Structure 1
Amino acid sequence: MSLHPAPIAAPLHRRTLLAGLAAAGGSAVLAGCSSDAPKPAALEAYTPKLPVRELWRARVSALPHPLQPLLRGDQFICAGDDGRVVAWQTASGAEQWRAEFGAPLSAAVGHDGRFTAAVTRDNELRVLDRGRLAWKAALKSAVATAPLVAGERVFVLGVDREVLAFDALDGRRLWSYQRSGGELLTLSQRAVLMPWRDTLLVGQGANLVGLDPTRGSTRFELPLTPPRGTNEVERLNDLVGPALRLDDSLCVRAFQSAIGCFDVARIRLRWSRLAAGVQALGGDAVLLSGADAAGRVSAWKTETGEIAWTNERLTYRGLGAPLVLPQAVLYGDAQGQLHFLSRDDGQTLQRLATDGSAVAVAPLRAADGTVLVSTARGLLLALSVG
């Protein structure tokens, strides 16, 4: 079948979950238990060198935990904390459609043009068929990763790293998968769940696993980095979603341990290197970028992993996952500032304030060039860059 979409205390259950650890932002992870938290770096003076203008703005309900908007074709699809989902045309901001899940959501939505899937905070998978509730299913685990809707199936990855497959039409459970000898500690944050040709790619610890979407059987398993440390917390190295697909390569971060790129077509690891960080990478065929938990920004050459430049002028500002644009590298921070950095050397080209709340998830860029930024207060800001 094709998977291309049509058109440190934490609670215990089966595994120990570090709830919301990375979602809080890098600086919060370091400073959350201390009254002597480092102060965010002051904003430096700069000379604007990149034109950026607002195209349109919209709002959803506040997002106390990050719900990554979805880009599908020429639509930005975003769910608010109240369970309402709205799709906007990327260039104009015209509303295309809206739907209602009827409950607060724990993760962003999946959508294939017909079916829209989401998981509520009560661990219930709900699937809409053209905007109307088609079926729902109780889940035993919390979910922080958006369901994947593809090939008339709905795939769900729990924070316990169990993968479930359901028939999109009637909700029948088709199969489940959980890697044997799994980790005792997992992250309650977005993980890797995505299609690649006729294979389902999922993160299991620091391993990229390829599954047969029809049966749930394992096709391959590729480690990004081996566990390190002397205890389970130090050895925690889950793959952080979303992974970045670049043709036949897949580039991804392992939590606080490494970054690297897989050659999925040849089923091999192209390269990996030690690099701390809790947020996903951004990048293109030439340049990757990511920040560590202290807000030190790095850029690497996509082909080799060689360091291209670093920027230490945004430390402790709670940087989110970046978007690498043709003109710049875009980071949002916990104060709602957007930082446009030079692809060549990391220098500030432009800065833009939003609504003062955190830009906690990666901005998106549509095929028409429209860039969408979302904030914790529910502001959606569409920009033209360059």
Structure 2
Amino acid sequence: MVRRLLVVALLLFTGCAGLKTGGQTLLEDRIINTDTVWQGDYLIDGKVRVVGGATLTIKPGTRLFFVRRDRDRDGLGDAAIEVEHASLLALGTVRQPIEFRSAENDPRPGDWLEIKVDFARKLQLSHCLIRDSAHGLHAHFSKGSLEDSVLRNNIDGTRFGQGRYVVRRCLVVGNRGKGLNFRNSEMEIRDNILRGNRAGLFIFETDRPLTVVGNNFVANRHHVRLGDFFRGDIKLGRNWFGTRDRQKIDTLLYDRGEDATIGSLWAEPADSWLPGTGPCPAALHLEPDAELFGDGFFDAGAVSDGQTIYLPGWDGSAYAFDSRGQRVWKQALGEVADAGPALDGGRLYLQTWGREVLALDRSNGRPLWRFRYPESAHDDHRQGGLVRVGKQLLVPAWNGRLYALDAGSGKLLWKQDCGAPLRAAPAVARGRIFQPSGSGRLSILSLDGQLLTTLDLGAPLLSTPLVTAGGVILVTRGGDVLALDDDGRQLWRRDLAETCYYGAPVLSDGLLYLATAAGRLHCLTADRGEPLWSVDLAGPSYATPLIAGGRIFVGDNRGVMQVFNALNGDPLARADFTNAIQSTPLLIDGRLVFGARDSRIHFLRLRED
């Protein structure tokens, strides 16, 4: 208690400067009545009030961490920023957003209270992240804007009342209550993505002009909901409501159809996902930086230890090189290698068409041990990637066996028949191995090789399963996408009706991405398989995409590497080459590295405007 009183006294004495602690400026209960600029990291443990016509300017890249402290025991954190008869300017940038978030290691909605603004002289927020709060941006009797920002994991993302507000190009996602909530305000809600909220847009009441147009509403319990005492009728502009089915849309709009005592919502549904919505990453250019020449195709994805990059090829060689394309070593393997390699502390592991597994010294490429397995009728192309788990190296073989080798010596530990051929790497999660087979069988094994269960999914499984929090997601060659729990029970199934070969699904921020041999890139919700959007690629794709920095990087069989916005599928950049790109790109030191069927390893520098 004595220490806390001393800290409070020091803060009052030093005015707005705050107390530095662990690289952060500590701000407890205080009043700001002169123009103030915040830049850097701040720890807010109390209520910071801005009054008396002062302007609080928050610089790009600033991070505000709010301590979870519930002094009034109402179940909500008390920390807040309160602006009254004053101004708040929080203008971040694409590269340097401003963050308002919980200081806790286990953040949850309601950890801190709100950014409360009353009678604002100026209220502008852009490129901000507001998360883990109770009420997000809570403004009354003001005119303000919220643009290019993210509202995530709050109870309510906003509470607007008695004013004029613009919400534009924002991502409103995963808020436990209402994504956007307002009453008696003139609102412009345009070009946003509202996803995974209990209510995407909640209209408590209003008798003022309302513009809701160009938004994508997806995977909300209700896309738009009227308040319990709202008696008027609302006409919404053209928005995408996740489906073309008018009856289904009606079930997602909470109005007189669910409660005869309230008003009605009139929707003008778009036919498909609307592009140009949500925050956009910085403009991107792919600039050729270097090339490394081989004597055959490069289909495997590269792996890296952060300094050196490793990649095998169809010329029967393994290559090691740095991020600038300078070769470190080259080692002859004796046969084609098109499977993804594996790494550990000192070894690189590869599989070749000679039905041989090799461990190489990562520093110089020298072979350390070899393991051979028997031939089969399926020995023709595309081997499964290798996986390191514990002391084991898992090897999916053409002959249908999954081999577990001692990674240090190459000694066989166990093997299990999983159905020939095995052309994809297994997935490992929560003490289980999930091995797909070209026969259509999925085998679920324990880490010591005991077969727990098998499933016949009716079509070849040619790509590695995607591990999720609740199980795995698989894709059949026929285009069925299936989510299973750890015991193989089906959670959901979605038929894309498109051929899918070796490209595996990838996961980012609760969304699933998959490139198909039909030349489409699909985005679905991972929890329910609900389609969000799909876009055309330049050609058929056998590649697994890379997700990084809010962007999707994917190659295709026409030799085009394309980049898309992961939020909305908008194209961002492309680079054209002479032959197919079937490998997953690697991003390292600001360069995109991938092999192609023009017998080259390409290095593209990423330049942002």
Q: Return the TM-score normalized by structure 2.
A: 0.46
Which position in structure 2 is the counterpart of 1:136?
370
Q: In the alignment, which of 410, 414, 417 is matched to residue 178 of structure 1? A: 417
Cα distance in structure 2, aligned partners of 1:344 and 1:170: 45
Closer, same or farther: CA 318–198 of 1 in aligned 2, 3 Å: closer
Which position in structure 2 is the counterpart of 1:107?
338
Shift of 1:325: 3.5
Cα distance in structure 2, aligned partners of 1:149 and 1:73: 18
Which position in structure 2 is the counterpart of 1:26?
none
Cα distance in structure 1, aligned partners of 2:307 and 2:468: 20
Closer, same or farther: CA 237–267 of 1 in aligned 2, 3 Å: closer
Shift of 1:163: 0.8
Deviations 1:122-162 (A, max 9, x none): 22222224532223233213470123344333321112321
Cα distance in structure 2, aligned partners of 1:349 and 1:89: 27
Would you say the 8 A contact 2:384–2:424 is kept in 1? yes
Structure 1 vs Structure 2 CA RMSD: 3.3
Shift of 1:359: 0.9
Runs of 4+ deviating beyond 6 Å: none
Cα distance in structure 1, aligned partners of 2:548 and 2:391: 33
Which position in structure 1 is the counterpart of 2:64?
none
Closer, same or farther: CA 383–196 of 1 in aligned 2, 3 Å: farther
Shift of 1:385: 6.4
Equivalent residue letter for 2:336: L
Would you say the 8 A contact 1:154–1:168 is kept in 2? yes
Would you say the 8 A contact 1:55–1:384 is kept in 2? no
Would you say the 8 A contact 2:593–2:602 is kept in 1? yes
Deviations 1:305-357 (A, max 9, x none): 11111224x4645563322344333332223222223334433222222x312
Equivalent residue letter for 1:304: R
Q: In the alignment, which of 308, 313, 318 is matched to residue 85 of structure 1? A: 318
Q: In the alignment, which of 291, 295, 301 is matched to residue 68 of structure 1? A: 301
Cα distance in structure 2, aligned partners of 1:315 and 1:89: 30
Cα distance in structure 2, aligned partners of 1:57 and 1:261: 40
Which position in structure 1 is the counterpart of 2:329?
98
Shift of 1:178: 0.7
Shift of 1:69: 1.7
Cα distance in structure 2, aligned partners of 1:166 and 1:372: 30
Higher RCO structure (Cα 8 Å, ≥6 apart)? 1
Closer, same or farther: CA 317–385 of 1 in aligned 2, 3 Å: farther
Equivalent residue letter for 1:210: I
Cα distance in structure 2, aligned partners of 1:302 and 1:316: 25
Which position in structure 2 is the counterpart of 1:51?
284
The gaps in structure 1 that reach 5 residues or longer are 1-47, 228-235
Which position in structure 2 is the counterpart of 1:29?
none
Equivalent residue letter for 1:329: I
Shift of 1:177: 0.2
Would you say the 8 A contact 1:201–1:209 is kept in 2? yes
Closer, same or farther: CA 73–200 of 1 in aligned 2, 3 Å: farther
Shift of 1:74: 5.1
Cα distance in structure 2, aligned partners of 1:256 and 1:364: 28
Cα distance in structure 2, aligned partners of 1:69 and 1:333: 17
Which position in structure 2 is the counterpart of 1:123?
355
Equivalent residue letter for 1:295: G
Cα distance in structure 1, aligned partners of 2:567 and 2:333: 46
Matches within 5 A, 1:310-321: 310-312=534-536, 314=537, 316-318=539-541, 320-321=543-544
Would you say the 8 A contact 2:297–2:596 is kept in 1? no
Closer, same or farther: CA 385–206 of 1 in aligned 2, 3 Å: farther
Equivalent residue letter for 1:335: R
Among all aligned residue pairs of Structure 1 and Structure 2, give the percentage whose two residues are the same amino acid: 21
Which structure has the larger Rg?
Answer: 2
Deviations 1:74-122 (A, max 9, x none): 54321133333234455x5565x53524312333322223232223322
Which position in structure 2 is the counterpart of 1:165?
404
Cα distance in structure 2, aligned partners of 1:263 and 1:369: 37
Q: In the alignment, which of 436, 452, 455 is matched to residue 203 of structure 1? A: 436
Q: Return the TM-score normalized by structure 1.
A: 0.69
Is 1:342 the counterpart of 2:565? The answer is: yes
Closer, same or farther: CA 269–57 of 1 in aligned 2, 3 Å: farther
Q: In the alignment, which of 376, 380, 385 is matched to residue 146 of structure 1? A: 385
Closer, same or farther: CA 75–288 of 1 in aligned 2, 3 Å: farther
Shift of 1:71: 4.1
Closer, same or farther: CA 80–171 of 1 in aligned 2, 3 Å: same
Which position in structure 2 is the counterpart of 1:324?
547
Closer, same or farther: CA 315–372 of 1 in aligned 2, 3 Å: closer
Cα distance in structure 2, aligned partners of 1:198 and 1:268: 17
The gaps in structure 2 that reach 5 residues or longer are 1-280
Deviations 1:150-200 (A, max 9, x none): 433332111232111222333322221014xx47xx47xx41324335443
Which position in structure 2 is the counterpart of 1:38?
none
Would you say the 8 A contact 2:514–2:545 is kept in 1? yes
Q: In the alignment, which of 270, 274, 293 is matched to residue 491 of structure 2? A: 270
Would you say the 8 A contact 1:261–1:271 is kept in 2? yes
Cα distance in structure 2, aligned partners of 1:171 and 1:198: 22
Q: In the alignment, which of 351, 355, 380 is matched to residue 574 of structure 2? A: 351
Equivalent residue letter for 2:531: I
Shift of 1:72: 4.3
SS in 2 for 1:242: coil
Is 1:361 the counterpart of 2:583? The answer is: yes
Is 1:255 the counterpart of 2:486? The answer is: no
Closer, same or farther: CA 88–99 of 1 in aligned 2, 3 Å: closer
Deviations 1:14-54 (A, max 9, x none): xxxxxxxxxxxxxxxxxxxxxxxxxxxxxxxxxx9731244
Cα distance in structure 1, aligned partners of 2:410 and 2:460: 32
Cα distance in structure 2, aligned partners of 1:198 and 1:76: 29
Deviations 1:197-246 (A, max 9, x none): 544332244454332333x112455x4x731xxxxxxxx322x3233345
SS in 1 for 2:334: coil
Cα distance in structure 2, aligned partners of 1:74 and 1:173: 31
